Amino acid sequence: MELFPEIEPYLTGYLDVGQGHSLYYEEVGNPNGVPVLYLHGGPGAGLSPKHRRYFNPGFWRIILLDQRGAGKSKPFASLQNNTTWDLVADLEKLRIHVGLTNWSIWGGSWGSKLALCYTALHRGKVNALMLRGIYLGREREMNWLYQEGASKYFPEGFIQFQSPITLGNRHNMVLAYHQKLNHTDQAVQLEAAKSWSTWEASLLKLLPDKDLVLEFQDPNIALSLSRLECHYAINKNFLQHDNLILEKASEWRDLPTRIVQGRYDMVCPPESAYELHQAITGSELMMVNAAGHSASDPELSVELVKMAWEFQYKVSTPKMRAI
């Protein structure tokens, strides 16, 4: 199945969630349709017009937002009052703001972790989970990406990732980058941001994509992505312990859930997707063999559109009321 045609929002706005943050959100599709919340990756990646196109616009009421510090939300790339649980609280405020009692959630990469954390606190508000490229916020996932793991498959890219960091500080790349990304000199910040985002972009697709790497070197993308990802990594994703999400997920025995995962995902290795599938009784796992992490990998994109299409028959008529 192909992406649905390009579509423009019928509603856009900003939601003041307090603590100095104002979040951009938009709605597309059918205003009277079944509501689904789209959660972007990163953290800090922000929205793209392509994210609207996974869903049948005649069926779904599609709600999308830029999370704190990302995209059009204000202030840009801010780390203040920016934790996992702040973002979860924001989603609940958005649900009330748009007048819904329940919604389904679609989350990819970091967005899958945010979707799972929201569900852990607000299970009764979630009708279904549609997830891609699973990230559980565990220390070993961060070590794989930033210290040792993906480095074994892309050694030349990892050497470039290490290059801004002195030899004596490379034993803890996250800490070393955190210092540079929060440096008082903006030139130092930007150099580190481009290096961080270049490393991630080089891993995203099954086959290298030079245009994607160049896109991630744009200062607006690089700064928000790197600063927020590093901020969350150094704070261990603000989770009480490594297996928190899996423990909570094991309680969701009646929650329709599908997980779509690229077999050769170098950003979020498939192990986490398999463990999540094992934890959620009745969940479905689609392992896409000819795909990496990026939703733009052709075979992965097909499965993502198919997932939202097939979930039309799994979710009930939305329960809406004025709040």
73 is catalytic: no
Cβ 40 vs Cβ 108: under 8 Å: yes
**Polymer length of the chain:** 323
Helices (DSSP H) in the chain: which residue ranges?
84-97, 110-121, 139-146, 155-162, 173-181, 186-203, 210-216, 219-234, 244-249, 270-279, 298-310
List 265, 272, 294, 301, catalytic entry: 265
Q: Parallel, antiparallel, or unpaired: how do β-strands 21-29 and 11-18 relate? A: antiparallel
Please enumerate in sequence order all residues whose Cβ is within 8 A of that of 125, keeping only pairs 6 or more positions apart, or say none. 92, 95, 101, 102, 103
Task: Order across the sheet with 257-262: list the strands.
Answer: 11-18, 21-29, 60-65, 34-39, 103-108, 126-132, 257-262, 284-288
Give, as one character, the DSSP assignment of residue 238: G
Please enumerate in sequence order all residues whose Cβ is within 8 A of that of 98, keeping only pairs 6 or more positions apart, or say none. 25, 27, 35, 63
Distance CA(133)–CA(286), nearest Å, equals: 11
Angle between helices 173-181 and 186-203 (to 10 degrees): 140
Cβ 223 vs Cβ 191: under 8 Å: no
224 is catalytic: no
250 is catalytic: no
Closest C-alpha to 44, from 193, 255, 154, 156? 193
List 78, 104, 109, 272, catalytic entry: 109
Count of Cβ atoms closer than 10 Å to residue 292 Cβ: 22
The residues that are catalytic are 109, 265, 293
